Amino acid sequence: MESSPHLDIRDVIAAPAHALSAKQVLVVVLGLCGGLLVFDLFYYMGVIAEGQAPRGVFAIYGFLPFGADSFQNTVAQAFFYVGAALGIFVLMLSLFGVSAIHVEAVRGNRFFSARGAIKFAFQRWKQLAYSELAIILFVLFIIILYALFGLICRIPFIGEWIYSIFFVIPNFIVGLFVAFILFILSVSVILMPAVAAAERKAESFNVILETFSTVIRQPLRWVAYTAYTFIAAKLCSFIYAYFAYRAVQFVTLSSAIGGGDSIERVVRSGLSHLPTRSDFVYQVLNVFPGIRWGITPPANGYFMTTDSTAGYVMALMLFLIFASVIGYGLAIIAAGQARAYAVIRYVKDGYKISDEKPLFAEEVAAEEKLEGERNGN
């Protein structure tokens, strides 16, 4: 059993250590890959709708078209935004899975598997989707009301007077409220999965209520915890990236002793299929934004473009290693949000999530029985 949580800042500080597990990184990497594939599908559909050649765009940006210019065509823009929204939602499901692992650990179930977390995330996808959709629909409803109110300006002579008189009350007051809701909507990408994972029932209303309550009643505490987890995630993922980079070098050089030039050739071929010199990769391999100190990928002259199948397989393997760097960073953020929510829930409501029974109690009993049999033998 995991030691009882302190329900204070010590639980959040330990988030990088709690997140350092293969199953959590695996859950996030699967979410990253799934979200990226969804985004790429809609993005290149937008490229086709824009009238561009997908092969030419793919040759420049590949599977990471984050630095591409925005679309001008309305249909292409719709594909882009839908793909981005669905990609983010798939990533939220992976953050939900990691948060569920930590919530179960707080409850006493440290055996919750990656498979169980993924299955649980798919079971609760409607809860997350309805929660986000409810907030978005409310904002759209306010926008429609403002659009209808704006028709008053079309009334001759007095329209502009009426609009000006009511600009502060209620227009500005309502607008201020909606601005706060939009802020909650943006932070819900990382906070809502943790809140939903802590709910024993698949109810969207409680998720929305607790998400708003966490930020409104404990804003400074939540901001401080979140800022720490982001800094820790960037620093720890950079350290992991450094050792991963050295590990790839070690494996390549050691294998070349027996395999000769073919080893380096297949690695160079794999790197040639990846956007290693892109700004996105640079930021991931840099210690912090604005500080020019980090891991420098090989120069363009090192690459060897070939059409061999082994080169594409190597590109996939190297991409998964790179994705695990991002996955570890996001796992830290998810762990920090889950642990922070448990602390904030106790501070604001006096409620201990750790007093709840594990949601998957049968798995706990089975693993404890197996562990007991091993210790007995």
Phi/psi zone of residue 62: left (φ > 0), alpha (ψ -120 to 50 degrees), beta? left
Give the position of tokens 């709840």. Answer: 356
Question: In terms of DSSP bridges, do strands 291-294 and 286-288 run parallel, antiparallel, or are they unpaired?
Answer: antiparallel
Give the position of tokens 């209620």. Answer: 170
Residue 229 and residue 340 in contact, taking contact as beta carbons nearer than 8 Å: yes
Closest CA to 214 of 310, 343, 48: 343
Would you state the pLDDT for residue 302?
A: 63
Tokens of 47: 């490229």
Question: What is the mean predicted confidence (pLDDT) over 116-141?
Answer: 95
Would you state the pLDDT for residue 376?
A: 60
Residue 206 neighbours by CB under 8 Å, 6+ apart: 199
Residue-wise pLDDT tens digits, 2-52: 567 888 999 999 999 999 999 999 999 999 999 999 999 999 998 888 888
- The DSSP result for 160-171, as a single string, is HHHHHHTIIIII
Phi/psi zone of residue 51: left (φ > 0), alpha (ψ -120 to 50 degrees), beta? left
Instruction: Tell me how far apart the alpha carbons of residues 95 and 194 are, in angstroms, rounded to a whole number.
Output: 8
Give the position of tokens 């991002």. Answer: 326
Residue 233 and residue 333 in contact, taking contact as beta carbons nearer than 8 Å: yes
Is the Cα dihedral 331, 346, 222, 130 positive or negative?
A: positive
Q: Identify the weakest region by mean pLDDT among 42-56, 104-118, 239-253, 326-340.
A: 42-56
β-strand partners of 288? 291
pLDDT above 60 (res 368)? no
Residue 87 neighbours by CB under 8 Å, 6+ apart: 35, 36, 38, 39, 42
Question: What is the mean predicted confidence (pLDDT) over 325-338?
Answer: 96
In 200-308, which ranges are continuous DSSP H helix? 204-217, 219-259, 261-272, 279-285
Tokens of 221: 């505490």
Name the strand (E) or helix (H) holding 313. Answer: helix 309-349
Instruction: Tell me how far apart the alpha carbons of residues 260 and 267 are, in angstroms, rounded to a whole number.
Output: 12
β-strand partners of 294? 286
Would you state the pLDDT for residue 1?
A: 44
pLDDT above 90 (res 273)? no
Q: What is the DSSP letter of 287?
A: E
pLDDT above 90 (res 221)? yes
Instruction: Tell me how far apart the alpha carbons of residues 332 and 14 are, in angstroms, rounded to a whole number.
Output: 9
Would you state the pLDDT for residue 305?
A: 65
Residue-wise pLDDT tens digits, 84-102: 999 999 999 999 999 999 9
Closest CA to 30 of 377, 324, 275, 311: 324
Would you state the pLDDT for residue 235?
A: 95
Q: What percentage of the chain reaches a pLDDT higher than 70?
A: 91
Question: What is the mean predicted confidence (pLDDT) over 179-207?
Answer: 94
Helix (DSSP H) and strand (DSSP E) numbers for the chain? 15, 2
pLDDT band at 365 (very low <50, low <70, confident <90, very high): low
Residue 37 neighbours by CB under 8 Å, 6+ apart: none
pTM to 2 decimal places: 0.90
